[in-house]
Structures are given as C-alpha cells and as structure tokens.
Amino acid sequence: MSDLRIAVLGVGIMGADHVERLSSRIAGARVAVVNDFLTEKAESVAAGIPGCRAVGDPLDAIADPDVDAVVLATPGPTHDKQLLACLDHRKPVLCEKPLTTDVESSLEVVKWETELGVRLIQVGFMRRFDDEYMQLKALMDADEFGRPLMLHCVHRNPAVPPSFDSSMVVKDSLVHEVDVARFLFDEEITSIQIIKPATNPGAPQGIQDPQIAIMRTSSGKHVDVELFVTTGVAYEVRTELVGEKGSALIGLDVGLIRKQSGRWGGQITPGFRERFGRAYDTEFQRWVNAVHRGQTTGDYTDGPVAWDGYAAAAVCAAGVESLQSGRPVDVSMVDRVSIPRA
Ligand code: ISE
C-alpha cells in the first residue's frame, strides 16, 4: 500500500509538531504539502522534507489531486471553510480542536458530512489516545467501578499566550475536559455553570483565572473542573473518577523519582506537547490506518468525529454564557445526527 500524501495546513507550534511526527514516527503516510499564512514559514518547513511542497492557498492544498488527506492545524476561525472544502473534495481530515469556533457552523459541518454519508472528519481530541485515559475507559467499560457517579478534574497550565482571555479558558482549555467527560461517561452534558473564585494576582489583567466549571450529564452525573491556566508551575492534568464500587485517579504524572544528596524528587512536565506527545503519536497512527482502511470501509476515522466537535462547541458556548451570568446554563443541542460506524 503506498503512503498517504498528507497536506498539513498551518505549521505553527502544533502543525510543525505534526509534520515532524508524520515524517519520523508514523507509518503509511508522508507530508506532501504544507501551507501557512506565513509563506516563508511553510517554505522553510517544506525545504526540510524530501518531496514536500509549500502551497500558498489552503483551499488549493485541499483541492490538490496529489493530496490524499488533510491535517488542519490552522487557526479555529478558518476551520469551517476548510472543513467544507475537505468534504467537497472528499478528503479525509484530522482537524485540531475546535471543530469550528461557533455552534452554528459546527452543526453545518456535521449536517453536510451526514448528507454525504461518508465519515471524513476526525477531531483532534488527543486525550482519548492517552494510555491512562484509555486504561480508565477500558476499566469503566468492564464495569470495574460499578455505576460511574462523578468526575473531578484539574486542568492547570503554567502560562497561556498573551492573546488568551476568560472565554478562551472555556473554549480552549475546558473543551478537553468536556470531551473527556463525554468520552468516559458516554453521554451528553446538559448543563454547565462557571464559578469565578478570587483571581490569581499573577494572571494577566482582565483574565478570570482560576475558574471552576460544574457540569451535569443527561443521566445526572456530576463533573467538576478546576481550570487554572497561569500557575507558573507546570502542566498538570488530573482526572479522578468516582463510581459506586470505587474510584480511580489518572494524571499524577509521577515519572522517575530520584533520591540523592539529601534531596527527593522528579521532573515536572512543562506543557501539553510533552504530556500528551505519545497520545498524539497514537492518534495520528490510528488515523492514518483508518484513512487507508476507509477506501474499503467508507469510514475514514478512528476517534472523535464531527459530532463530538459540535457537542463540545455547544457545551463551551453555554459555559461562556455562564461565565458572564454566573448562573447554570442549559446546553442547547439538536438530536444526534451522524453516520453509523462502519
Ligand atoms: C491548549 O490549546 C491545549 O489544547 C492544551 O491541551 C490545553 O491544556 C491548554 O489549556 C490549551 O490552551
């Protein structure tokens, strides 16, 4: 089977990381085209990869007959147009979150794909491919903890870019916990409230940080999340599941512990690329395999699909509303529309 020719659109930090993993650790695919709004950046990335070209317009890259599949690592506001182009050209696409930046356009993408009847869009919620999350999910599916009741989550970043505002804490950071809760509980989130504790004096002015999110699922399960994105310490993501027959905690992030010269300790994880590096690799390898299989199955995904991107957008939109009002907000979603798994 010949290698998939991939176009990576957006070669900023995340996109460049994906180019590197596709070129060095992922079997069955190669980067054939790159694009970025910074033309020189795309050209310099292309120059480092044998057989790779820089293409100036992302829509031309998608339409290119010598491109088999697309990775979208472009800014969120450009996703809807690019996803619709992928659907038009029947190109499988792995889209970094968010699917799109608002609920309406996310739904439009979901509906369009459903009308086509081919599952082409996978959303980059990489935590579903992390060993610990996968292990927790497998134990839950094996009924090890009895009925799941609550999820307590901690999401701490050492710092965020200067462009970050309070709503991005919801749309950019909380969105992962939304997906984790939907993935682990296998049900939709129906309401959300954001509580605003006293802010961190070290946070950039005007940003509400930390935030506490309280969510409820369709069967009444509880999810709480501490979001604190300017800790100045390290990258910390922890999840504790409490069920009727026990609990489980993941994300302690305890690697090697060294004892020497009167000291005790280990290393801290600086950011999400380090914490979830292996998960990204697994996500990409499984996606590439699914795209190869898709020629016969008609399903080019193996992981979260467009509907998951829409559901996350709907919960985050309600979260941003609650951030403003301080009150619990019901999540407004249409009944599920999607293509059955192949
Ligand atoms: C960032 O965009 C991510 O996706 C990280 O996983 C998340 O932890 C961080 O808060 C976001 O800003």
Ligand 1 centroid – CA 270 distance (Å): 12
Check whether residue 121 and residue 171 sit in a common domain. no
Each residue's pLDDT tens digit, 290-306: 999 998 999 999 999 99
**341 pLDDT more than 80:** no
Nearest residue to 289 (alpha-carbon basis) of 305, 303, 275? 303
The answer on 216 and 161 residing in a single domain is: yes
User: Does residue 272's CB lie within 6 angstroms of at least one atom of ligand 1?
Assistant: yes
User: How confident is the model over 243-254, as pLDDT tens digits?
Assistant: 999 999 999 988
Residue 223 has pLDDT above 90, yes or no: yes
Residue 95 lies in a domain: yes
Q: CA 68 to CA 93: how far, in whole Å? A: 9
Does 65 have pLDDT greater than 90? yes
Does residue 199 sit in the same domain as residue 173? yes
| Ligand 1 centroid from CA 14, angstroms | 11
DSSP 169: I
Ligand 1 within 6 A of 173 CB? yes
CATH number of 58's domain? 3.40.50.720
In contact, 215 and 150? CB cutoff 8 Å: no
Mean of the pLDDT values across residues 222-242?
97
For residue 113, how many other CB atoms are within 10 A of its CB?
23
CA distance 183 to 202: 33
> Do 171 and 90 sit in the same domain of this protein?
no
Residue 226 lies in a domain: yes
Decide if 335 is inside a domain.
no
Q: Is residue 337 situated within a structural domain?
A: no
Residue 202 lies in a domain: yes
**C-beta 157 within 6 A of ligand 1:** yes
**294 shares a domain with 160:** no
Q: Determine whether the shortest distance from the Cβ of 18 to ligand 1 is under 6 A.
A: no
CB contact at 8 A, 243 and 143: no
Number of structural domains in the chain: 2
Q: Give domain status of residue 240, yes or no.
A: yes
Average pLDDT of span 251-267: 92
Residue 97 CB partners (closer than 8 Å, separation 6+): 76, 123, 124, 125, 175, 176, 179, 309, 312
> Could you tell me if the CB of 156 is within 6 A of ligand 1?
no
Question: Can you tell me the distance from the alpha carbon of 248 to that of 97, in angstroms, rounded to the nearest whole number?
Answer: 27
At 218, the pLDDT band (50, 70, 90 cuts) reads very high
Query: Is the minimum distance from the CB of 282 to ligand 1 under 6 angstroms?
Result: no
Question: Cα dihedral sign for 95, 99, 105, 111?
Answer: positive
124 alpha carbon, distance to own chain's centre: 4
Which helix or strand (DSSP H or E) is residue 72 part of?
strand 69-72
CA torsion sign for 46, 51, 54, 58 is: negative
pTM beyond cutoff 0.75: yes
Contact yes or no for 281/88 (Cβ under 8 A): no
**259 DSSP assignment:** E
CA of 271 to the centre of ligand 1 (A): 9
Please indicate, yes or no, whether residues 187 and 321 belong to a single structural domain of this protein: yes
Three-state helix/strand/coil letters over 190-232:
EEEEEECCCCCCCCCCCCCCCEEEEEEECCCCEEEEEEECCCC
- Is the pLDDT at 342 greater than 70? The verdict is no
Cβ burial, residue 9 (10 Å; 0-12/13-18/19+): buried
Residues 326 and 224 in one domain: yes
176 lines ligand 1 (CB under 6 A): yes
229 lines ligand 1 (CB under 6 A): yes
pLDDT in tens, 79-114: 999 999 999 999 999 999 999 999 999 999 999 999
- Provide the pLDDT for residue 1: 78
Pseudo-torsion of CA 341, 110, 335, 311, nearest 10°?
Answer: 90
Does the beta carbon of 275 lie inside 6 Å of ligand 1? Answer: no
Give 29's strand partners.
Answer: 4
Please, which pLDDT band fits residue 338 given cuts at 50, 70 and 90? confident
Please indicate, yes or no, if residue 262 is contained in any of the structural domains. yes
Instruction: Identify whether residues 300 and 236 lie together within a single domain.
Output: no
In a domain, 176, yes or no: yes
Residue 72: Cβ-neighbour burial (10 angstroms; 0-12, 13-18, 19+): buried
CATH of the domain at 245: 3.30.360.10
Token pair for residue 272?
A: 């999400």
For the chain, helix, strand, coil in percent to 5 are: 40, 25, 40
- Give nearest CA residue, ligand 1 atom 2: 172
Structural domain boundaries, residue 173: 130-270+314-330
Cα 144 to averaged position of ligand 1 atoms, centre (Å): 30
Give the mean pLDDT of the chain: 96
Whether residues 177 and 38 fall in one domain: no
As a dihedral over the C-alpha atoms of residue 230, residue 224, residue 104, residue 165, rounded to 10 degrees, the angle is: -20
User: Which atom in ligand 1 lies closest to the alpha carbon of residue 237?
Assistant: 8
Could you tell which of 133, 272, 276 is best to mutate to test the pocket of ligand 1, judged by most ligand atoms within 8 Å of the CB? 272
Does residue 170 sit in the same domain as residue 318? yes
**CA 76–ligand 1 middle distance (angstroms):** 13
Q: State whether 117 and 189 are in the same domain.
A: no
Instruction: Say if residue 246 is in the same domain as residue 258.
Output: yes
